[in-house]
Amino acid sequence: MANKISDYLQQQAAQDNSDALTYSEKLQKHIAATTEKLDRLLDAHLDGTVDKETYTVKKNELLNNKIQSEQELQETQAMGNRWLELSLQFISDANLAKKTALTGNYEELRNFLKKIGSNLHIRERTVGLLWRKPWELLAERACACGAGGHEFEHCTVMLGRRDSNP
């Protein structure tokens, strides 16, 4: 299942890259066209075709437009696929959670739970924690430990619900 999700995310990332490339090319063309308009406006002003007041207003309008397009271009190029990296890491960690739960190694379980949650506590011989995002999404879903038939927050395998003083 994790491989299918990873493949799907890779496909979405490729589509996003294609869309971002198309948008970047559009912005670059717009910037080049605006630069050309600025050059023609300057030539018209120097020829005396356009008075100084009209030149100043139009020049400021074109410069603001060009600056805005350049900023959008920088933002588009800077965004990249950070969402993909985070999503793939989450899937990998979720897959590791299942493997860790099934090993029965309580030290690994404790370390993993510290990573995905906070405020670990034991009450009435039960381990509890507050889930960090995006782990709370999995905590609300059915448990993936393989035992089945129960919610993740009630999973005795993952949370190691056993006597606190064995």
Same domain, residue pair 99 and 45: no
Strand residue runs (E) in the chain: 117-123, 126-131
Cα of 85 vs its chain's centroid, Å: 7
pLDDT in tens, the chain (166 residues): 667 777 787 788 788 778 888 888 999 999 999 999 999 999 999 998 989 999 999 999 999 999 999 999 888 877 766 777 777 787 787 777 778 777 777 788 777 777 776 666 667 767 666 666 666 656 655 555 555 544 444 555 444 444 444 4
- Residue 86's pLDDT is what? 76
62 in the same domain as 108: no
Dihedral sign, Cα of residue 89, residue 92, residue 94, residue 97: negative
What is the residue range of 25's domain? Answer: 2-80
Number of H helices, E strands in the chain: 5, 2
For residue 79, the model assigns a pLDDT of 74
Kindly state whether residues 72 and 119 are assigned to the same domain. no
Distance, CA of 146 to CA of 20 (rounded, Å): 40
State whether 70 and 89 are in the same domain. no
Q: Is residue 94 part of a domain?
A: yes
User: Are residues 99 and 145 located together in one domain of the fold?
Assistant: yes
- Co-location of 68 and 90 in the same domain: no
pLDDT of the residue at 159: 46
* Long-range contacts of the stretch 57-62 (C-beta < 8 A, 24+): 62/34, 62/37, 62/38
CB 72 within 8 A of CB 27: yes
Type of residue at 121 = H
Q: Is 158 exposed, middle or buried (0-12, 13-18, 19+ CB in 10 A)?
A: buried
Tell me the CA end-to-end span of the chain in Å, nearest whole number. Answer: 36
Same domain, 24 and 61: yes
Predicted local distance difference test score (pLDDT) of residue 110: 75
**104 and 46 both lie in a single domain:** no
Rounded distance between C-alpha atoms, residue 122 and residue 143, angstroms: 20
